[in-house]
Amino acid sequence: MKITVKITGIDHVGIAVPDLDAAIAFHTGVLGGRLAHREENHDQGVVEAMIAYDGGAQVQLLAPLTPESAIGKFIDRSGPGLQQLAYRVPDAAEATAAVLAAGLRVLYAEPRRGTAGSKINFIHPKDTGGVLVELVEPAAATQATAAHGGPDGVASTRSAVSGETMTA
Ligand code: V0V
Protein backbone atom coordinates (compact mmCIF):
# COMPACT_ATOMS: atom_id res chain seq x y z
CA MET A 1 0.00 0.00 0.00
CA LYS A 2 1.27 3.48 -0.87
CA ILE A 3 2.20 5.53 2.22
CA THR A 4 1.47 9.27 2.04
CA VAL A 5 2.13 12.15 4.40
CA LYS A 6 -1.16 12.89 6.16
CA ILE A 7 -1.46 16.67 5.98
CA THR A 8 -4.36 18.18 7.93
CA GLY A 9 -3.75 21.83 7.15
CA ILE A 10 -1.25 24.65 6.84
CA ASP A 11 0.19 25.29 10.29
CA HIS A 12 2.09 28.44 9.35
CA VAL A 13 4.17 30.21 6.75
CA GLY A 14 7.67 31.22 7.86
CA ILE A 15 9.29 34.53 6.99
CA ALA A 16 13.00 35.21 7.52
CA VAL A 17 13.50 38.62 9.11
CA PRO A 18 16.67 40.44 10.16
CA ASP A 19 15.00 42.33 13.05
CA LEU A 20 12.33 40.45 15.01
CA ASP A 21 10.92 43.42 16.93
CA ALA A 22 10.55 45.49 13.77
CA ALA A 23 8.80 42.59 12.04
CA ILE A 24 6.44 42.05 15.00
CA ALA A 25 5.61 45.77 14.98
CA PHE A 26 4.68 45.58 11.27
CA HIS A 27 2.65 42.38 11.50
CA THR A 28 0.71 43.48 14.59
CA GLY A 29 0.60 47.25 14.08
CA VAL A 30 -0.07 47.45 10.34
CA LEU A 31 -1.48 44.01 9.44
CA GLY A 32 -3.51 43.61 12.63
CA GLY A 33 -2.10 40.26 13.74
CA ARG A 34 -1.72 39.18 17.34
CA LEU A 35 1.56 38.11 18.93
CA ALA A 36 0.63 34.59 20.07
CA HIS A 37 4.02 33.18 21.01
CA ARG A 38 7.69 34.12 21.18
CA GLU A 39 10.58 31.76 21.74
CA GLU A 40 14.33 31.30 21.30
CA ASN A 41 15.20 27.95 19.76
CA HIS A 42 18.94 27.37 19.99
CA ASP A 43 18.74 24.03 18.21
CA GLN A 44 17.41 25.88 15.14
CA GLY A 45 19.47 29.05 15.71
CA VAL A 46 16.43 31.31 15.72
CA VAL A 47 14.37 33.63 17.81
CA GLU A 48 10.84 33.35 16.49
CA ALA A 49 7.44 34.93 16.96
CA MET A 50 4.12 33.40 15.94
CA ILE A 51 1.61 35.94 14.67
CA ALA A 52 -2.04 34.83 14.66
CA TYR A 53 -4.90 36.32 12.67
CA ASP A 54 -8.65 36.06 13.16
CA GLY A 55 -9.80 32.97 11.28
CA GLY A 56 -6.75 30.91 12.26
CA ALA A 57 -4.00 31.93 9.83
CA GLN A 58 -0.52 31.98 11.36
CA VAL A 59 2.76 33.50 10.24
CA GLN A 60 6.06 32.67 11.93
CA LEU A 61 8.67 35.42 11.99
CA LEU A 62 12.17 33.92 12.11
CA ALA A 63 15.24 35.95 13.03
CA PRO A 64 18.74 34.43 13.09
CA LEU A 65 20.66 34.03 16.35
CA THR A 66 23.92 33.61 14.41
CA PRO A 67 25.05 34.25 10.80
CA GLU A 68 25.79 30.49 10.40
CA SER A 69 22.22 29.42 11.27
CA ALA A 70 19.78 28.31 8.55
CA ILE A 71 17.98 31.67 8.71
CA GLY A 72 21.26 33.62 8.80
CA LYS A 73 22.45 31.84 5.66
CA PHE A 74 19.05 32.28 3.97
CA ILE A 75 19.03 36.06 4.55
CA ASP A 76 22.65 36.32 3.41
CA ARG A 77 21.87 34.46 0.17
CA SER A 78 18.30 35.52 -0.65
CA GLY A 79 17.50 38.48 1.60
CA PRO A 80 14.51 38.63 3.95
CA GLY A 81 11.30 36.96 2.81
CA LEU A 82 9.29 33.74 2.63
CA GLN A 83 11.50 30.89 3.83
CA GLN A 84 9.19 27.94 4.51
CA LEU A 85 5.71 26.46 4.19
CA ALA A 86 4.76 24.43 7.28
CA TYR A 87 2.09 21.74 6.99
CA ARG A 88 0.40 20.31 10.08
CA VAL A 89 0.53 16.53 10.48
CA PRO A 90 -0.85 14.29 13.24
CA ASP A 91 2.43 12.43 13.73
CA ALA A 92 5.80 13.87 12.68
CA ALA A 93 7.64 10.55 12.97
CA GLU A 94 5.09 8.86 10.72
CA ALA A 95 5.31 11.77 8.26
CA THR A 96 9.12 11.46 8.25
CA ALA A 97 8.82 7.76 7.40
CA ALA A 98 6.38 8.52 4.59
CA VAL A 99 8.72 11.11 3.05
CA LEU A 100 11.65 8.69 3.22
CA ALA A 101 9.51 5.95 1.68
CA ALA A 102 8.84 8.30 -1.25
CA GLY A 103 12.61 8.59 -1.77
CA LEU A 104 12.88 12.25 -0.72
CA ARG A 105 15.38 13.84 1.67
CA VAL A 106 14.21 14.80 5.13
CA LEU A 107 16.63 17.02 7.03
CA TYR A 108 16.51 15.09 10.31
CA ALA A 109 16.39 11.32 10.92
CA GLU A 110 14.05 12.01 13.87
CA PRO A 111 11.72 15.00 14.38
CA ARG A 112 13.15 17.79 16.53
CA ARG A 113 11.63 20.36 18.84
CA GLY A 114 9.82 23.23 17.14
CA THR A 115 7.75 26.14 18.35
CA ALA A 116 5.70 25.73 21.53
CA GLY A 117 6.55 22.10 22.14
CA SER A 118 5.78 20.95 18.61
CA LYS A 119 7.75 18.27 16.76
CA ILE A 120 9.14 19.30 13.39
CA ASN A 121 11.00 17.99 10.38
CA PHE A 122 11.72 19.42 6.93
CA ILE A 123 11.80 18.15 3.34
CA HIS A 124 14.77 19.50 1.36
CA PRO A 125 13.63 22.30 -0.98
CA LYS A 126 15.37 20.67 -3.93
CA ASP A 127 13.01 17.68 -3.57
CA THR A 128 9.78 19.71 -3.40
CA GLY A 129 9.99 22.05 -6.38
CA GLY A 130 11.90 24.79 -4.59
CA VAL A 131 9.92 25.17 -1.35
CA LEU A 132 11.33 24.33 2.08
CA VAL A 133 8.46 22.20 3.42
CA GLU A 134 8.16 21.83 7.18
CA LEU A 135 6.08 19.09 8.78
CA VAL A 136 4.68 20.10 12.18
CA GLU A 137 3.10 17.93 14.82
CA PRO A 138 1.71 20.47 17.29
CA ALA A 139 1.92 19.84 21.02
CA ALA A 140 -0.90 17.62 22.29
CA ALA A 141 -3.08 20.43 23.71
CA THR A 142 -2.93 22.33 20.43
CA GLN A 143 -3.69 19.18 18.44
CA ALA A 144 -6.86 18.58 20.48
CA THR A 145 -8.08 22.16 20.05
CA ALA A 146 -7.39 22.13 16.33
CA ALA A 147 -9.46 18.95 16.01
CA HIS A 148 -12.38 20.75 17.65
CA GLY A 149 -11.98 23.67 15.28
CA GLY A 150 -11.82 26.90 17.34
CA PRO A 151 -11.31 29.86 14.99
CA ASP A 152 -8.03 31.00 16.56
CA GLY A 153 -7.70 28.12 18.97
CA VAL A 154 -4.49 26.87 17.41
CA ALA A 155 -2.47 29.89 18.41
CA SER A 156 -4.13 30.71 21.70
CA THR A 157 -3.61 27.27 23.23
CA ARG A 158 -0.02 26.61 22.17
CA SER A 159 1.80 25.16 25.14
CA ALA A 160 5.29 26.54 25.41
CA VAL A 161 8.24 24.41 26.45
CA SER A 162 10.85 27.14 26.65
CA GLY A 163 8.94 30.07 25.27
CA GLU A 164 6.12 32.36 26.11
CA THR A 165 2.59 31.86 24.83
CA MET A 166 0.34 34.86 24.86
CA THR A 167 -3.42 34.72 25.13
CA ALA A 168 -5.62 37.48 23.81
C1 V0V B 1 18.06 26.92 0.69
N2 V0V B 1 17.51 26.74 -0.52
C3 V0V B 1 16.21 27.00 -0.45
C4 V0V B 1 15.97 27.37 0.89
N5 V0V B 1 17.13 27.30 1.58
N6 V0V B 1 15.25 26.99 -1.38
C7 V0V B 1 14.00 27.32 -0.98
N8 V0V B 1 13.68 27.68 0.30
C9 V0V B 1 14.64 27.72 1.24
N10 V0V B 1 14.33 28.09 2.49
C11 V0V B 1 18.22 26.33 -1.74
C12 V0V B 1 19.39 27.24 -2.03
O13 V0V B 1 19.00 28.38 -2.74
C14 V0V B 1 20.29 26.35 -2.83
O15 V0V B 1 19.86 26.29 -4.15
C16 V0V B 1 20.08 25.00 -2.17
O17 V0V B 1 18.80 25.05 -1.51
C18 V0V B 1 21.19 24.75 -1.16
O19 V0V B 1 21.00 23.60 -0.53
P20 V0V B 1 22.07 23.05 0.58
O21 V0V B 1 23.46 23.44 0.16
O22 V0V B 1 21.77 21.62 0.81
O23 V0V B 1 21.74 23.78 1.90
P24 V0V B 1 21.81 25.19 2.61
O25 V0V B 1 23.08 25.31 3.40
O26 V0V B 1 21.44 26.33 1.74
O27 V0V B 1 20.62 24.99 3.64
C28 V0V B 1 19.31 24.81 3.19
C29 V0V B 1 18.57 23.94 4.20
C30 V0V B 1 18.68 24.64 5.58
C31 V0V B 1 17.12 23.85 3.76
C32 V0V B 1 19.18 22.54 4.26
O33 V0V B 1 18.14 25.96 5.51
C34 V0V B 1 18.02 23.90 6.70
O35 V0V B 1 18.61 22.99 7.29
N36 V0V B 1 16.74 24.27 7.00
C37 V0V B 1 15.95 23.56 8.01
C38 V0V B 1 15.99 24.23 9.32
C39 V0V B 1 15.45 25.63 9.29
O40 V0V B 1 15.12 26.19 8.24
N41 V0V B 1 15.38 26.22 10.51
C42 V0V B 1 14.91 27.58 10.68
C43 V0V B 1 13.45 27.59 10.95
P44 V0V B 1 20.87 26.39 -5.40
O45 V0V B 1 21.57 27.69 -5.24
O46 V0V B 1 21.78 25.20 -5.21
O47 V0V B 1 19.98 26.30 -6.61
S48 V0V B 1 13.11 26.98 12.58
C49 V0V B 1 11.44 26.65 12.61
O50 V0V B 1 10.82 26.64 11.47
C51 V0V B 1 10.80 26.44 13.82
C52 V0V B 1 11.52 26.53 15.12
C53 V0V B 1 9.36 26.07 13.84
O54 V0V B 1 8.72 26.06 12.79
O55 V0V B 1 8.84 25.79 14.92
pLDDT at residue 131 greater than cutoff 60? yes
Kindly give the distance from the C-alpha atom of residue 155 to the centroid of ligand 1, in angstroms, as a whole number.
Answer: 25
Could you give the CA distance from residue 168 to residue 159 in angstroms, rounded to a whole number? 14
Which residue has the least CA distance to atom 34 on ligand 1?
70
pLDDT tens readout for residues 89-129 = 999 999 999 999 999 999 999 999 999 999 999 999 999 99
Q: Whose CA is nearest to atom 27 of ligand 1?
A: 70
Residue 151 dihedral angles phi and psi, to the nearest 5°: -60, -45
pLDDT per position as a tens digit, 20-32 = 999 999 999 999 9
- Residue 148 CA to ligand 1 center (angstroms) comes to 33
The C-alpha atoms of residue 31 and residue 166 are separated, in whole angstroms, by 18
| pLDDT tens figures, 39-59 | 999 999 999 999 999 999 999
- Beta-bridged to residue 46, according to DSSP, are 41, 64
Q: What is the pLDDT of residue 79?
A: 98
pTM: 0.91
The per-residue pLDDT for 144 is 61
